[in-house]
A and B are shown apart, each in its own frame.
Chain A
Amino acid sequence: MQFLQQTINGITIGSFYALVALGYTMVYGVLKMINFAHGGMFMWGAYIGLTVTTGLVALVGYASPWALVPTLIAVMVAVAGIGVLVERVAYRPLRTAGRLAPLISALGMAFILESLARNVYGASWKTYLPGLVPGGRVALLGNVRISVMQVLVLLVSFLLMALLYLFVYRTRVGTAMRAVAQDHEVSRLMGIDVDRIIATVFLIGPGLGGMAGLIVGTYYGSFDFTLGWSFGLRAFIAAILGGIGNIPGAMLGGMLLGIVETFAAGYISPQWKDVIAYVILIFILIFRPTGLLGERVAEKL
């Protein structure tokens, strides 16, 4: 029974990782660059969500879980805006500048986002209003219980992932995105506006990341400005685990990381859960450097 309970908890946490990992993997796909600022955008999702819910509750007079619906949309729009802005300011000028310069620019952006959050909201732990989170638990199979919040989190995450999957694999823009991921020059020759596609990626990735920030914030209840680095790093590892640049891979990697962490915490030691996750990552990269679903790319000469 405990096994099933742990699996449910693992999948819940895994879906957070998956949502954030998607942002890393999509940007890596089109720009071949690790967007270290993504963790910061995710964290801003949690903060903006906090502001919006607090405002809504003040407006309406009481806290209800329904407030999360408009908040989710507001956060998505706001963080997507941040994403596009970051791309325009910090990454686009460096498109041709090799691989190190964008990496440093991304790290700089991460510093900026974190420091801004710290100064705007303060360094203390922030807490979502208690009435926002739907309470109650549903019993499944005897002792195993799943909270209403978990059900909602899983529903929203899976819905978002399914939509993204359909968008990328079934629409024209999605096809263009995959083309850009393969080759900028050839895509341009085929009439694809590469800059616009990249901007779209920076709309979707951070949008999902921002929503994940709101969900994580409400799920755990409280957070501080270090959320971006700590959670972002692990989500990034999830993206690598699944094979970076590969969208189903990021979902799989996120789920796996969540489950492994929960099991490690439950059955081995909560202190060592992160170490175990990192060691698994190292082993996967040693034996299968492209991740679980990544394809081996032949060396170009």
Chain B
Amino acid sequence: MKSLQARLGRIPPLWWQVGLLALAVLLPLPMSDYYRSVLWRTALYAILGLSLNIIVGYAGLFQLGHAAFYALGAYTSALLNLYLDVPLILTWPASVLVAAFFGYLISRPIIHLRGDYLCVVTIAFGEVVRLALVNNIFGITGGANGLSGIDRPVLFGLVLRTPLQHYYLVLFFLVLTLFAVRRLENSRLGRAWVCIREDETAAEAMGIDTVRAKLLAFVVGSAWAGLAGALYVARVPVVSPDLARFIESVVMFCIVVLGGTGSIPGVFVGTLGMVTLPELLRFLQTWRDAWMGVAMVVMMIARPEGLWPSRRVRMEIRGEEEEEAGFPTGVEEDPPDPSSDNSGEPDFSGEVYQLYDEETYLITLLEEGPRGLPSEGDPSGKDAV
């Protein structure tokens, strides 16, 4: 796996992008509608995973109530369409805004909480949203049965009906998400998030406004989950409080961690493992959850850093053992291709990792700080930190 990952990493990124996109576009063509639906679901959860990855993966904030924002986006879209007759595609920006607004509202007072406490508050918030929907809040959410009879989305006069059309719709937004997330990852804000994840105190000492950065992680991640909710409604014209179930949040959380926190390819691996595979294992019926559980436990014991981790996380968990076995030789034999600067993961110089151990890590972080963070920021994220 390790050498495969290293080998795959040497293929120029543009080929990768074009090849994968072509595969994603062509893949559903020979398939039946059932498998197209599975692909649709996979792409949708990949968007959700990427959105949660901003919060959990980059900023290191334990968010176990992400499904609430997904549900908020879905309900916003459904309610606007049902009560105000807004065409579905015009409700999408509203879904994003509502989810972002709630993301801000809930995270503002709890942003100072750390680790597990934050995790608990997000669980509680998720449950509050679900129960409020079940209890038919304001008399408009339809209670436990939810809402139905939502219109189909109309795009340039074309009514989207078939699974294939919806798959392409979600794929379009997935590509957009990927583009945005990649830009974020390497921006000043993205690096600030990673700094906070690694050591909040050090990040603060380096002049990062940690509260602002963490809030932004929450707001951006929630907004994106709201978009995913709206896309769900576009395909399934029924919404119910089940969208906000705790188990949904758990699945999203596992997508991020199983693949490797903070790693974009990891989110895809996680989605395949947590969403696509269980869908294809329907024949196991009630045993499916047990197998999922076994897979989760075994995976974490075998590869606690995730299946396709970002380099940084792998170094952190595997430490010196990996350092001797893997990277330095690779770096020495093949100096990194200059064209691969914006490949999958942020590119760090090999020397940093050769020096890596618990103590020098902090030193590197501190030394990189003034050089890498406040002054040399990406213009697109200038106002972020």
**Interface residues in chain A, defined as those with a beta carbon under 8 Å from any beta carbon in chain B:** 28, 32, 34, 89-90, 93-94, 97-105, 107-116, 118-119, 123, 229, 233, 236-237, 240, 244, 271-272, 274-275, 278-279, 281-282, 285-286, 289-290, 299, 301
Contact = CB atoms under 8 A, between A and B. Distances in A.
A145 to B, nearest CB: 31
A33 to B, nearest CB: 8
Contact of B250 (A94, A107, A285): A107
A282 B121 contact: yes
Contact of B117 (A93, A113, A285): A285
A108 B292 contact: yes
Contact of B300 (A97, A237, A286, A301): A97
Contacts of A111: 289-290, 292-293, 296
A91 B119 CA distance: 19
Interface of chain A: mostly helix, strand, loop or mixed:
helix
B132 A275 contact: yes
Interface in B100-153: 109-110, 112-113, 115-117, 119-121, 123-125, 127-128, 131-132, 134-135
A285 B110 contact: yes
Interface residues of B, number: 47
B318 to A, nearest CB: 10
A36 B304 CA distance: 18
B77 interface: no
Contacts of A123: 286
14 contacts: A90-B297, A104-B300, A107-B296, A108-B295, A108-B296, A112-B289, A114-B289, A233-B123, A237-B120, A275-B127, A279-B124, A285-B121, A299-B201, A301-B201
Interface of chain B: mostly helix, strand, loop or mixed:
helix
B297 A281 contact: no
A93 B289 contact: no
Contacts of A102: 300
B293 to A, nearest CB: 3
A276 B305 CA distance: 38
Given A93-B301, A281-B124, A285-B120, A115 B131 contact: no
Interface in B243-270: 246-247, 250, 253-254, 257-258, 261
Contact of B127 (A34, A118, A233, A285): A233
Nearest to A301: B201
